[in-house]
Amino acid sequence: MLLSKPTETHTWDVVIVGGGPAGIAAGLQLARAGRRTTLVERAMVGGQARRLDHIENLPGWPKGVSGRGVMRLWERQARRWGLGTVTGDAVSVRKSEGAFKVRLADGRCLSAGAVVLAPGACFKTLGVPGERRLFGKGVTHGAFDDAPRWSHRVVAVVGGGETAVHQAIHLARWARRVELIARGPLRAHDLLLRRLRDCANVSVQSGRVVRILGKNKVCAVVVRQDGQDRRLGVSAVFVLIGAQASAWVRRSVRPGVFVAGDARGAIERQVAVAAGDGMAAAVRAMRWLQEQR
């Protein structure tokens, strides 16, 4: 269902913000239980998981599965039970006249008895000169389906966790060379580290990025190592140093508003974990609605 008028208000049992694994799983659980539920997603249902080319640790797929494929199945299953969707960008949640009002950026408002917030997490930034100015011009937070764009070029991945290591391995399939820049030891599990060592075109650099250079597009990064600055020529910088819940999500938490998935700030950024978290949030929302009778 798409609300067309900017001032239109519609009442639901539950409004879910975010269409990634946590949001879809919550919607499936609630719709199947007979709750009138709609899901607000700014882009495409499936979230970042839809952009993963291959997921190996999701139970039920021994040979792995594409993120796009599994999210399509989850969406189809949720819609079968009657989950509605609204395209839009939620910007606030407040309580008024006994109901929660989910306000969208274009002025539309959804009213509900409970809210599940599962918008994912916001990527942290380096906060260095050049980063903001060159965002979208070579500075990015790493979309897996964007990797072929950097074919035969030199790129940098900044970060030492599993997401950064995974991105470096993926980029190595296309890029001429990948500079993986981490401030400390890599914090990925053994399987990813073994695969990283097998990538002959990935170079691990110890240090921190202090500047990103370029006029209209990225041309280099400056890495500080042992007090010395070193310039590395690169065409793109993938900043993957962690994520956190957006400020408006943190401000919105109260009885009747339940946070699920990466928005909780948990470090287990896995599709299966997010889905289970979404299911749990849906159960809590149903219990809340029952208690309000």
pLDDT at residue 2 in the model: 40
> What is the mean pLDDT of each successive set of 10 residues along the chain, which is 293 residues long?
43 94 96 96 85 85 90 94 93 91 93 94 92 95 79 95 92 96 93 95 95 96 94 96 82 92 75 93 96 85
Q: Does residue 264 come out as left (phi exceeding 0), alpha (psi in the -120 to 50 range) or beta?
A: alpha
* Strand segments (E) across the chain: 9-17, 37-41, 84-87, 90-96, 99-104, 109-117, 122-123, 139-140, 154-158, 177-182, 202-206, 208-213, 220-225, 228-233, 236-239, 243-244, 257-259
Tokens of 29: 């659980």
In our burial notation (b when 16+ CB lie closer than 10 A, e otherwise), range 238-267 reads bbbbbbebbeebeebbeebbbbbbbbbeee
pLDDT at residue 9 in the model: 52
The residue type of 214 is: G
Kindly give, in sequence order, each residue whose CB lies less than 8 Å from that of residue 95, ignoring residues fewer than 6 positions away. Answer: 101, 254, 256
